[in-house]
Structure 1
Amino acid sequence: MSANFDMDALRAMVVGVELGSFARAATQLGRSQSAISMQLKKLEEQARRPLFRRDGRGLVPTEAGEALLSYARQIIALNDEAAAAVGNSAGAATVRLGLPQDFFEDVMPEVLGLFSQQRPNSHVEVRAGRNYVLEEEVQAGRLDVALAFFKAGSSTSGAHVATLPLVWLAAETMRRPGPAEIPLVLFDHPCLFRQTALQTLDRQRLRRRMALTTPSLPG
């Protein structure tokens, strides 16, 4: 008999993976962490195979989890579209917004608060993702708008909003670059900031080593 996946559990899975943290997913969805854990366990029971594996302090999808994740996004999009079509959204307009994880803790709460005050009948659905993924999601119609970083002069389908400087961050005790290798903490590939940092060091002929790589800000 085919599995009948729970919609709320699928949504918890998608939000948790996109935010890089199921604790953050619990906050965004208004549920407890234990409730999210139970929903993920329920999904694995329905799938009859592991969907996640532990990686450090977090969970990452297995091969089966990645496959289900792709379908989950489509199922949720169709569900929300159907709900809006039959009026279950109570007349509220839904804006699907994509953002890099950089904005979630510092920028998003204040901006969404102001937006809610100005558009009280609107519903904002926020998704986190890498820059290139956000652009693809907009082009595919799965996001209405996204804010993403791109290198100056690169060809994108979006509009230029602002230019921001890149800076190096280091401990106060770190010495100026010398013959020793510079330890780096970077996002894993592909990443615009990673690429720019490595190219800059190469131009300066400075030696470096990867001290830590991470797929997201929470690690």
Structure 2
Amino acid sequence: MALITNLPTDLLRTFITVVELGGHSKAGAALGRSQPAISLQIRRLEELVRTQLLVQDGRTIQPTPAGEALLSYAREMVRINDEAVSYFHRSDRSGVLRIGLPTDYAVAFLQSTLTKFMQDHPSVELEIHCDVSRELHKHLRAEDLDIIVATMSEPRMPYLSRAWTEQPLWAASEAYRPDPDRPIPLGAHLEGCDYRARMIGALDSVERRWRIVYTGPGISGLQNAVLNGLCVTALTHATLLPGMRELPEEEGFPRLEPLRIGLFYKHPRLSVAGLQLVSELVAGIESVGSGVRKLPQ
């Protein structure tokens, strides 16, 4: 029977940190180790997996294809390790966590998880910032946010922990009947919203006229506009309310392109409380029904 190779979590943590911070020196500063020590750990990890994991790209370090593959496993292994350790260090769960959520749906989607976390950890203060996904990614890179849920413009992106697909659907009031001689009245979030772009792209693809009749930053305002018959919009199963109906292709509403959604955080920067919240968010994501499925990492 062949011996199973064990990948030490300290090596995996170093690997994640080098990738996220873009270099051995920055990783060493974050982890409290010298640059030679960081390089030695990376070499040891490469020996264990028998392949090169990192490559120099200009002034930064980038993962090789094999490194990209290992990164997903490494994040999950280190997260589970830290979740286990944090169970025995519950007194360390304190401070402020800044959470970024997309304007369109994530508050409703993850509200129960966030509420339960606040009840279970009263010493941790949550600050929730809602914006379009591209702005959330900017805030995470600038370290203005600790954890974000946001749409993904590419299959693989920095700081990704979990990814899944979301299928948008056309929603209108139950009484709405489309008039083929008039433009579709659209309700949408502000410019830059992925749902807005998908609605316009889908209608343009079938040469169906449209006009924006409602624009607003919040999901509740958009839902009310739909319920009142003012507009049609793109929602998810989680945000479709009683009194609404899904509009099918037979009524002139082409299928909307699915969205890739991700949970992102900078592992080396996250506190014990932050790691615990990530674990609870992951559990919440995986408990959602068939409208959401986990993507292969």
Q: TM-score, normalised by structure 1?
A: 0.50
The one of the two structures with greater contact order (alpha-carbon pairs below 8 A, sep at least 6) is: 2
Of structures 1 and 2, the larger Rg is shown by 2
Q: TM-score, normalised by structure 2?
A: 0.38
